[in-house]
Amino acid sequence: MLSVKTDIIITIISGTLLFGLLTVFIIYFILLYRKSQTKLYYERERKKQELLQAEMEIKEQTLVNVSREIHDNLGQAAALVKINLNLISKDISEADQQKINESSDLIKQLIADMRSLSQSLNGDNIKRKGIISMLTIDVNRINKTGYVGITFEYPNGPVELDFDQQTILYRIIQELFTNTLKYAKAKSVQLTIEENPKEIKVNYTDDGIGFDYSTASNKGSGLTNIKDRCDIIGAKLYFQSEVDQGVDVQITLTKPHS
């Protein structure tokens, strides 16, 4: 009888140990699986970031090339047209002379606009002048059109961001300008850049027609570009829009080494 009880106890203990070992192995493999999945996730995110970065670099180089093309070729051609207009004989009717003068003024304005556009496309200018100076140039150029009025508020002194962050943030704000001009039918835009010891905050609003942001079909390439660029520099993006309520965009970016 004692032998039977002993066998039962041994069997129970053996089963318990076996169950415990099996449980340990199951937990171990679950942890191992989760670790591998986490590693795979971060690896995918890293590759995604690398692809986005490469894509942005290609786009940035393309913009530099377009900038040089505008400056070197189109700008030169416009300057030659202006010279030819000035060389036209003055012995013409007053009406024709007026047309020539108006055309010359238009060409002069065109040259100035192309020079300004060339500067905004060339990322090297951001490095030399800083994001605030470049945005001021863009805001002044847009305001001169009379199509929409932009109010720009910014901190005194240079913004403490590295070159890549400034370049990408600048392109994000350019994309916001483009979306407003193309789609919003806005009369006014408010752009504010705020700075504290740890963060840069960008607030952008317009009083345009807005759209239903929850509708997937409305999320076009412009918004996708903004989201991708925010991901590259680790910026937090808040985007809100409703029909007839304009657009409200907030971007928060942590400063380097903060």
Pick the residue with more confidence: 161 or 74? 161
Judge contact between 142 and 148, C-beta under 8 A: yes
Q: Cα(153)–Cα(163) distance, rounded to whole angstroms?
A: 21
Phi and psi angles of residue 191, each rounded to the nearest 5 degrees, phi first: -115, 125
Phi and psi angles of residue 206, each rounded to the nearest 5 degrees, phi first: -135, 165
**pLDDT at residue 190, as a whole number:** 97
- Whether residue 55 is predicted with pLDDT greater than 90 in this model: the reply is no
Structure tokens at 131: 């994001």
Q: 248, 233, 258: which is closest to 52 by C-alpha? A: 233
Phi and psi angles of residue 158, each rounded to the nearest 5 degrees, phi first: -70, 150
Q: 175, 220, 224: which is closest to 202 by C-alpha? A: 175
Give the dihedral sign, CA 88/90/96/101.
Answer: positive
Residue with tokens 């840069």: 200
The pTM of this model reads 0.63
As beta bridge partners, residue 253 has: 200
Domains of the chain: 139-258 (3.30.565.10)
Q: Is 255 left (phi over 0), alpha (psi -120 to 50) or beta?
A: beta
Per-residue pLDDT tens over the stretch 202-253: 999 999 998 887 764 445 567 888 888 898 888 999 998 888 889 999 999 9
Judge contact between 189 and 149, C-beta under 8 A: yes
**pLDDT at residue 70, as a whole number:** 61
Strand order across the 236-241 sheet: 149-153, 188-195, 199-206, 247-254, 236-241
**pLDDT at residue 231, as a whole number:** 87
Confidence at 173, pLDDT banded by 50, 70, 90:
very high
Contacts for 234 with CB less than 8 Å, ≥ 6 apart: 253, 254
Pick the residue with more confidence: 161 or 221? 161
Burial class (CB in 10 A: 0-12, 13-18, 19+), 131: buried
Q: Cα(148)–Cα(249) distance, rounded to whole angstroms?
A: 18
Per-residue pLDDT tens over the stretch 69-128: 665 566 666 666 777 777 776 677 777 777 777 777 777 777 777 776 666 666 677 778
Rank 24-28, 121-125, 150-154 by mean pLDDT and report only the highest.
150-154
Q: Cα(123)–Cα(111) distance, rounded to whole angstroms?
A: 20
Q: 25, 48, 29, 47: which is closest to 37 by C-alpha? A: 29
What is the average pLDDT score of the chain?
78
Q: Is 218 left (phi over 0), alpha (psi -120 to 50) or beta?
A: alpha
**pLDDT at residue 68, as a whole number:** 62
**pLDDT at residue 45, as a whole number:** 62
